[in-house]
Structure 1
Amino acid sequence: MGNLLIISATALDHHLHTLMYFFLMNLSILDLGSISVTIPKSMVNSHMNTKVISYHGCVTQVFLFVIFSSTDLALLIIMAYDRYVAICQARHYEIVMNGRACVQMAACAWISGIVYSAMHTGNTFRLPFCQTNVIHQFFCEIPQLLKLACSDSYLSEAGLLAFGVFLGLNFFVFIIVFYVQILKTVLRIPAEQVQHKAFSTCLPHLIVISLFLCIVFFAYLKPTSSSVSNMNRLMGVFYSSASSDESNHLQHEDKEIKAALKKLIVWSLFTKN
């Protein structure tokens, strides 16, 4: 609901038709898609007292989940760079972050996410599965699927996963570098109100992305084990749903989003009456 409200407010309020809110709307779409891939199926299974997912449903779930997660990370890097240019290189912002460049960057994020997901999905489901058909997770998770492979052919996908985690770690370093530069610049500004606004925007973003990536690194880099662990399921819950709160955290202190939501609610009530 939070992501839907952000998308509606950004789309309907012309005051929010700026580059920053364009990225935030994309992030909300990704967060909404990410949580919609895994949670509803789990809720249906719980309600129907079953634990079944079809083969094609599993393929679709893996493909979509990797798309949304990887594109989410790419978009967070673009947003961090956007804020870095806006604060640290304000004079060049209109030239560097023009509308065409931002649309191209967002499109590249989506395309790279689709290509990256297609590689992982194709490489995972080309493997012969001859072990038990039980996945010890509440959704189709690639490391758990690899445990069902018949031979050592899963090592290629395991290597691709490790490479993906390595790229994610480098992206996280880039985000940290951007925000360190932003904080250094903000601390030189004497106005406390400006400093408070920058901190309230940057810190929640860093906390959420740090938690998300740390859990993903732990889940994907820990040694594989054939034993069932409730900790594995708990980690899956965290990293599959934590990203859905990113846009809400980013907008928690945003007065423009709050004002747009108030206008949207008042307009809806007025129209209904």
Structure 2
Amino acid sequence: MPEIPAQKTAAAAVPAGEIAVVAITRHGIVLAGKVVRALPNARLYAPEKFAAEAERAAPGAQTYAGKTGDALGALFGRVDGIVGIVSLGALVRLISPYLKAKDSDPAVIVLDEQGRFVIPMLSGHLGGANALAGRLADALGATPVLTTASDVRETLAVDLLGRELGWTLEATHAALVHASAAVVNDEPVALVQEDGSLDWWTRHANGRTAPLPANLRLFERIEDVDPGHFSALLWISQRSLPTTCAAAWRGRCVIYRPTEAP
């Protein structure tokens, strides 16, 4: 198999639907205008008392009466992303009643009023919050504060492999958690690629500049892998899982289905 190149070649994927930028102070609203201009699918939401300021900062801004927590609740099930220009602690308390699941909650970002730090706090991978934080950091000159283990160490994010190429993922929740833990804990992981483009590392959804992690060993066929030597299996293939392999890899196999030819 050809060596996987390490340079970054693709932009990070951010949420495709509406991104609500919620600001609750005058200074925050000024910064929110910059955020809206940086994200074409973003809209400012502010308290009704700051309607004039919000319209100046971002024409077409929406205002709300009542509590910010109620406004966030109304947005939570409707938008793909939320950028809160409030304190981290405040945003945690405001959104906590509306949390459901990592595969359905919107991406949530917190940004300080000075625009110094941008912190993805919810749905970092599947929801695209980490990618959104990177986009805002570039636009505002801010520092992204990433806390997900795979991004801090620039290793493989198991749930994002092939995402930029349109690949689909097949795995139980337990297997996905197990494989992700094996990767970030530097356990030996077999990565078998039988189909699809070879540039999945360079087109990683959050971008990577380091080489492929040393604990990932590449194979061309699943039959070549000894299950006793690896903690998990990442299998890129169009084939059905061979019956001779299914039992050996049960609970620790993640399958990726490419949509394009190698």
TM range (shorter): under 0.3
Structure number with the higher helix fraction is 1
Structure number with the higher strand fraction is 2
TM-score normalised by length of structure 1: 0.22
TM-score normalised by length of structure 2: 0.23
Higher RCO by CA contacts (8 Å cutoff, separation 6 or greater):
1
